[in-house]
Amino acid sequence: MSDASQFAGKVVVVTGSCGGIGAATAAHFAARGASLVLADIDGERLAEVAAALAAPGGSTTVRCDVTQAEGAEAIAAAACQQFGGIDILANVVGGSRPGKTALELTPEEWGALLDFNLTSVFLVSRAVIPHMAARGGGAIVNIASGAGVRGMQRNPAYVAAKGGVIALTRALAMDHAASGIRVNCISPGPVLTPLMERNRTPDEIALIAQQSISARLGRPEELASAIAFLASDAASYIQGQTIEVDGGFATLV
């Protein structure tokens, strides 16, 4: 099978489709023949991403808030209406706002970061799993972070949320394997995305890049490749795992 047809006939949902990793993931699946359901809260940017993809398998967009059950259900409904079901879910949406300790973080900020990074994964998975099961199975790939594995200074809510994504991944895998659904997770190291460029100074970015064995930051396309691998038949015996895709990153600052 050629790369161009690897995911032909597969319906792939990508949340956070407007972000660096999300957009790269959508492009990766589109180039390999998938039908795409692109979800994001930024409707204008979402339309631009979909137009740029020109996915041969077709695409549809859903402007929604995945921290709300209604948003998650809208994604599942759009996928079923447009393509008849769902085969693959990439839970990419998420983000970090470092700079505060637990003493400085308000309960409202804590809740918002957990909703964005963890509750969203639960809600979209919950909405999608019945439709995957109806098709005889599927694959879910969640996005955690090195912060959820090793911790991170001045970012407690994000660390807790991403650690929760890792634990939720294993729980979903255990509960839904009998339905033919595989659930895995990747834990990225530092990736040069627009979000990182907003959160970090150029000097900080340069310092972070030197803390991996690879001596550079990751690229969104490299994360997309890892997501697609875990969603593919090549990963058919990988279940409930979290794979660190971080260039050999040593520590988070």
Q: How far is CA 236 from CA 16, 60, 100, 131, 167, in A?
A: 25, 27, 41, 19, 20
Token pair for 10: 């597969």
Tallying the residues shown for the chain, one arrives at 253
* 40 phi, psi to nearest 5 deg: -165, 160
How far apart are the C-alpha atoms of 137 and 51, rounded to whole Å? 30
Q: How far is CA 184 from CA 57, 101, 174, in A?
A: 25, 30, 11
Task: Catalogue the active-site residues.
Answer: 158
How far apart are the C-alpha atoms of 30 and 25, rounded to whole Å? 9
Q: Which amino acid is at 188?
A: P
How far apart are the C-alpha atoms of 226 and 60, rounded to whole Å? 23
Three-class secondary structure of residue 216 per DSSP: coil
How far apart are the C-alpha atoms of 133 and 138, rounded to whole Å? 7
The residue with tokens 């040069």 is: 192
How far apart are the C-alpha atoms of 17 and 222, rounded to whole Å? 16
How far apart are the C-alpha atoms of 218 and 95, rounded to whole Å? 16
Token pair for 206: 């340069």
Q: Which amino acid is at 8?
A: A
